[in-house]
Chains A and B, each alone.
Chain A
């Protein structure tokens, strides 16, 4: 947990010397082989892919950055030779590539070309390097300084305090629905439950097995807290993904919300909202729930992988170009605020404080478990029933377990 913290805080001093030394050290004139990247399409990934392709300008280059990357990447890396030589993934999506056995261990490539990649960027599974991470992300509190001051409130650190603050803001007549959150049914809602359940100290699975164990007191507690929060949300919350939640924030309708670190940049710039909104938007730390001590949030990384079914030359080209693209050479005034970068030389911006605080508070990374995705889907399909008051928390949790068990049996994780 502390590796990133030390690395990030330490770089403030080390970076100044490090950046200049390393930028020159990385050779970047690759003119043979092939690189073809598939990944999601948010700006930070666009920057990485652009630099990688520029670095390998002499080679055969292509990139496909799209929202559908998860559907395409496994199929596109299964052929031989694979269409894509690299997939950009996160800690949730790398497991699908490992399960299908389409990405290669990078130990040999790191030894040959990646001596200067700092250890905190290397993702190892069972001792083998499977990916190189380049950015971190987490959800944390975002609040309106002026509204909290007007209501005479301190910055909340737990969901219980968020509820109290929301009640006060509503009672004072400042805002009708002061709480925001990406509660859209599906992936977003499941992510909020995952955060909350981790915050209560719950275990998703029986240790060492794929047997789900969420129908317990912690599960009920997590659901009850989510429902309590929705009382202070816009009644349309089940249709609000993070785009819509950000739009609510910019419209000045929300004072407290749990939001992705990568999304806070646009909330604090001058475009799209009134000055009183963007000037008073401040990021806080992760929130807690109950007294487990674990923050109710998950830590995420994004990183790149190298396909298995490609020639050694293509693998070397891909590795070198991406290693360059995720080295300090990437960092400039424009890219610096796009993400919480993991490479040396990154200087934290005010928008990044929430993610750094989440890391510093000892939050849990999103579980990198082969069957977590199945549980995530089951959660996303079922929680809305409880929030709408259609059934009890126990019934919802039982439904989730049953849906997960059927899916995990089909996938061969359960017998």
Chain B
């Protein structure tokens, strides 16, 4: 395709992405390199319905002069990235030097908020992504064998976890897994332990979050695989059967290779989405047990004083980690481009 026609074809899409994604990313990166100005603090008397108290306040006039001089804030370089709430460079270095064992070092590391969040996020991604792919595949195979007339409703019900608004979906599940909810009671009965409570235990909460994550993304994998199954070459299958291939062998040697490119696509999208895990943690009120990188951004932005630079730094780190995770797929795409020229 000529450069000129390429340009006009991609223009609307590129303008949209530049304006609403690339520009904000640039401002996020800029923000993460700056911190707020030094605030001039004075002691004032505050009065209200409960009487008067002495309290600190920001001297607006003095601070305003600093703000006008440098509207972006103080340039801090990588300071925000290196502070304790992010990569905690100095804490990690001193822990490395002072720890007597790897275990002790690990414990110190897990006491730092960023590494704790990273640990959960990686575990979540590493477990939910393959689970989604495997179960989505199995569901697709199973639905593909259902009588044609039943497929419409079956597909609808299989899509429900993706369709029902996560906001309320999780609210209802949150109630269901309560120790007195229907699932919680069922679990207690299964484990034969009346004091079992999912919400009180960190390991169970992690499992719960991962089960929910898998449950809600199976439909995506399923629908993509289901589509792929429709294009499996029937002749090849027949030929395999004549050669005496068992059902398992047909899946292993005909269907799975056929679906391999789809798996790459699903893995790509799922890795990205799982790495940004956010909604389930909020809906299950699980912040005490599990924190992800997105949750860290959310708390920075949601507090009474908004930590913009801190949230920006965590966002940039998230993007970097996603890029690292996806690099195998990206290298593959690069090679594909090379061969097709």
Chain A interface (Cβ < 8 Å from any Cβ of B): 1-4, 7, 70-71, 74, 91-93, 95-96, 98-99, 101, 120-127, 133, 136, 184-186, 189, 205, 208-210, 234-241, 244, 299, 301, 342, 359, 363, 365, 367-374, 376-377, 380-381, 384, 388, 391, 395, 399, 402-403, 405-407, 409-413, 415
* B46 CB–A CB distance under 8 Å: yes
Nearest CB on B from A80, distance (A): 15
Given A98-B57, A99-B39, A403-B85, 14 other A-B residues pairs in contact with their CB atoms under 8 A: A1-B50, A71-B306, A101-B64, A124-B48, A189-B288, A208-B41, A235-B199, A236-B179, A238-B288, A367-B55, A371-B305, A374-B307, A395-B111, A407-B310
Q: Which of A1, A373, A410 is close to B80, meaning CB atoms less than 8 Å apart?
A: A410
Chain B contact patch, size range: 35 or more
Chain A residues whose C-beta falls within 8 Å of the C-beta of B202 in the assembled complex: 388
Q: Are B304 and A71 in contact (CB under 8 A)?
A: no
Q: Which of A99, A127, A402, A406 is close to B305, meaning CB atoms less than 8 Å apart?
A: A99
* B286 CB–A CB distance under 8 Å: yes
The CA-CA distance from A184 to B47 in the complex, in Å, is 31
Q: Which of A370, A376, A406 is close to B85, meaning CB atoms less than 8 Å apart?
A: A406
Q: Which of B36, B46, B83 is close to A406, meaning CB atoms less than 8 Å apart?
A: B83
Chain B residues whose C-beta falls within 8 Å of the C-beta of A185 in the assembled complex: 285, 287-288
Q: Name which of B4-12, B246-254, B295-303, B323-331 contacts chain A.
A: B295-303
Closest to B180 in A: A251
Pick 26 A–B contacts, CB within 8 A, sort by A: A70-B302, A70-B304, A74-B306, A91-B48, A101-B64, A123-B49, A124-B46, A127-B45, A136-B49, A136-B50, A184-B285, A184-B288, A189-B288, A235-B200, A236-B199, A239-B286, A299-B50, A301-B50, A367-B55, A376-B304, A377-B300, A380-B299, A384-B289, A402-B84, A403-B84, A412-B39
Q: Are A377 and B285 in contact (CB under 8 A)?
A: no
With A4-B50, A91-B48, A126-B45 as contacts: A369 and B56 at CB distance below 8 Å: yes
B116-145: CB near A (< 8 Å → 1, else 0) gives 000000000000000000000000000000
Q: Which of A98, A189, A380, A411 is close to B35, meaning CB atoms less than 8 Å apart?
A: A411
Closest to A365 in B: B50
Q: Are A411 and B303 in contact (CB under 8 A)?
A: no
Q: Are B39 and A413 in contact (CB under 8 A)?
A: yes
* B220 CB–A CB distance under 8 Å: no
Chain B residues whose C-beta falls within 8 Å of the C-beta of A369 in the assembled complex: 55-57
Closest to A415 in B: B38
* B236 CB–A CB distance under 8 Å: no
* B309 CB–A CB distance under 8 Å: yes
Chain A residues whose C-beta falls within 8 Å of the C-beta of B151 in the assembled complex: none
Nearest CB on A from B118, distance (A): 15
Q: Are A413 and B41 in contact (CB under 8 A)?
A: yes
Beta-carbon contacts under 8 Å, B35-88 to A: 35-39, 41-51, 53, 55-58, 60, 64, 74, 80, 83-85
Q: Which of B55, B179, B310 is close to A368, meaning CB atoms less than 8 Å apart?
A: B55
Chain B residues whose C-beta falls within 8 Å of the C-beta of A239 in the assembled complex: 199, 284-286, 288
4 nearest A-B residue pairs (beta carbon): A373-B304, A185-B288, A126-B44, A235-B200
The CA-CA distance from A184 to B177 in the complex, in Å, is 17
Q: Are B47 and A410 in contact (CB under 8 A)?
A: no
The CA-CA distance from A112 to B319 in the complex, in Å, is 54
Chain B residues whose C-beta falls within 8 Å of the C-beta of A4 in the assembled complex: 49-50
Closest to B64 in A: A101
Chain B interface (Cβ < 8 Å from any Cβ of A): 35-39, 41-51, 53, 55-58, 60, 64, 74, 80, 83-85, 111, 113, 178-179, 195, 197, 199-200, 202, 284-289, 291, 299-307, 309-310
The CA-CA distance from A127 to B43 in the complex, in Å, is 12
Q: Are A125 and B46 in contact (CB under 8 A)?
A: yes
The CA-CA distance from A299 to B51 in the complex, in Å, is 11
The CA-CA distance from A384 to B202 in the complex, in Å, is 11
Q: Are A411 and B305 in contact (CB under 8 A)?
A: yes
Chain A residues whose C-beta falls within 8 Å of the C-beta of B74 in the assembled complex: 412
Closest to A121 in B: B49
Closest to B76 in A: A410
The CA-CA distance from A184 to B289 in the complex, in Å, is 11
Q: Are A208 and B53 in contact (CB under 8 A)?
A: no
Chain A residues whose C-beta falls within 8 Å of the C-beta of B195 in the assembled complex: 235
Q: Are A407 and B50 in contact (CB under 8 A)?
A: no
Q: Which of B58, B111, B286 is close to A391, meaning CB atoms less than 8 Å apart?
A: B111
Nearest CB on B from A260, distance (A): 16
The CA-CA distance from A384 to B287 in the complex, in Å, is 9
Residue in A4, A96, A189, A236 with the greatest tally of chain B CB atoms within 10 Å: A236
Q: Are B48 and A388 in contact (CB under 8 A)?
A: no
Chain B residues whose C-beta falls within 8 Å of the C-beta of A365 in the assembled complex: 48, 50-51, 53
Q: Are A301 and B49 in contact (CB under 8 A)?
A: yes
Residue in B50, B58, B288, B301 with the greatest tally of chain A CB atoms within 10 Å: B50
The CA-CA distance from A405 to B88 in the complex, in Å, is 13
Chain B residues whose C-beta falls within 8 Å of the C-beta of A205 in the assembled complex: 56
Chain A residues whose C-beta falls within 8 Å of the C-beta of B36 in the assembled complex: 410-412
Nearest CB on B from A103, distance (A): 11
Chain A residues whose C-beta falls within 8 Å of the C-beta of B85 in the assembled complex: 403, 406-407
Nearest CB on B from A217, distance (A): 23
The CA-CA distance from A371 to B42 in the complex, in Å, is 13
Chain A residues whose C-beta falls within 8 Å of the C-beta of B46 in the assembled complex: 123-126, 368
